[in-house]
Amino acid sequence: MEKVILGITASIAAFKCCDIIRLLRKKGYAVKCVMTPNAEKFVTRTTLETLSGETVAKDMFERPEKMCPGHISLAEEADLMLIAPATANIIGKIASGICDDTLTCAVCAASCPTVFAPAMNDKMYNNPIVRDKMDYLAEKGYYFIEPVEGALACGSVGMGHLAPPEKIVEEVEKILLCSRTANNG
């Protein structure tokens, strides 16, 4: 069974990861969630563990189940890493090589495809620094699932609304198919 490591960050759209987990599992993927410490302000570990059927990785210095640091095991067991929703903060940190929590370390150690589904305020999404970081990551081979126009946390409507969970899962499947083909060919 292919495994998707789902990184969840502190966006107002974090609750939508519940639908992403449900859709991925329905399609037969195993899902293991990794939360940033701030993500727990938006969605609980209990909800994610119940929906995914797996423990949630969060604390860097928690005793690992195996004698291998948790973030390295995550990177090794992943067929694909999906960060949905991805904050401006996580995009900036990963583009800068910062590794200060389980999610950033796991992404840094991963050799599988890594996909970002950004969600943020439209002004943040159009900030030239955020855009530069996204362009830089795309150049390095990271994938992006563009946000759509919709209601934002600030009450306005703009570009930065998380792509629909169905669209995210569809894109993940396409990327996994390409990666399977490349690995077998």
Ligand X SMILES: Cc1cc2nc3c(=O)[nH]c(=O)nc-3n(C[C@H](O)[C@H](O)[C@H](O)COP(=O)(O)O)c2cc1C
In the complex, which residues of this chain contact ligand X (CB under 6 A)?
9-13, 36, 38-39, 87-90, 119-120, 124, 153
CA 128 and chain centroid, separation: 22
Residue number, 35 or 176, with CB nearest to ligand X: 35
- Closest by CA to 5, choosing from 158, 109, 146, is 109
Q: Are the C-beta atoms of residues 111 and 140 closer than 8 Å to each other?
A: no
Minimal distance in Å, beta carbon 67 to ligand X? 27
16, 44 Cβ separation under 8 angstroms: no
Structural contact between residues 122 and 152, judged by C-beta atoms closer than 8 angstroms: yes
Q: How far is the CB of 165 from ligand X (least distance, A)?
A: 15
Q: Which residue number, 10 or 75, has a Cβ lying nearer to ligand X?
A: 10
Choose the catalytic residue: 33, 68, 105, 154. Answer: 154
Answer yes or no: 112 catalytic: no
Reply yes or no: is the peptide bond before residue 37 cis, omega within 30 of 0: no
Q: Which is nearer to ligand X, 79 or 101 (CB)?
A: 101
Smallest separation, CB 50 to ligand X (Å) = 21
Q: Which residues are catalytic?
A: 154
